[in-house]
Structure 1
Amino acid sequence: MQSGSTVALDVRSRFPGGRNVGGKYNIADHKVTMYVGEIKKQCLSLFGSLEAFPQILRIVFAHELGHAEDANLQELSDLLDHCDNEQERKRIALRIEENAWDYAKKLIPEEDQSIMQTVIYYSLKSYREAIAGEIA
Structure 2
Amino acid sequence: MKKESLDLVVRELLERSGSLVDIKLESHFPGNRIAGGKYSMGTHTVTLYMEEIKNQCLQLFSSAERFLDYFTVVFAHELGHAEDQELEELANYLDTCLTEQERCLTALKIEENAWAFAEKLLPDMDKVFMQKIIYHSLKPYREQLQMEPA
TM exceeds 0.5? yes
Q: How does 1:88-103 map to 2 (within 5 A)?
A: 88-103=102-117
One of 12, 16, 26 as aligned partner of 1:12: 26
Residues in 2 aligned to 1:124 and 1:39: alpha-carbon distance in whole angstroms = 16
Aligned-residue offset at 1:79: 0.2
In the other structure, the counterpart of 2:119 is: 105
Distance 2:60 2:133 in 1: 8
Matched residues in 2 for 1:67 and 1:53: separation? 21
**CA deviation map 1:25-74 (0-9, x unaligned):** 00011000000100000010000111110100000000000000000000
Unaligned runs of 5+ in 1: none
Q: Which residue of 2 aligns with 1:122?
A: 136
> Percent identity, aligned pairs only?
54
When the two chains are superposed, the root-mean-square deviation of aligned CA atoms in Å is: 1.0
- Structure 2 distance, partners of 1:135, 1:99, is 25
TM-score (norm 1): 0.97
Q: CA deviation at 1:135?
A: 3.7
How far is 1:84 from its partner? 2.3
What TM-score does the superposition give when structure 2 sets the normalisation length?
A: 0.88
- SS of 1:109's equivalent in the other structure is coil
Look up the equivalent residue of 2:62 and give its one-letter code.
G
Structure 1 stretches of 4+ with a deviation exceeding 6 A read none
Q: Which runs of 5+ in 2 are unaligned?
A: 1-12
| CA–CA distance in structure 2, aligned partners of residues 27 and 38 of structure 1 | 21
Relative contact order, CA 8 A, sep 6+: which one is greater?
1
Paired residues in the alignment total 136
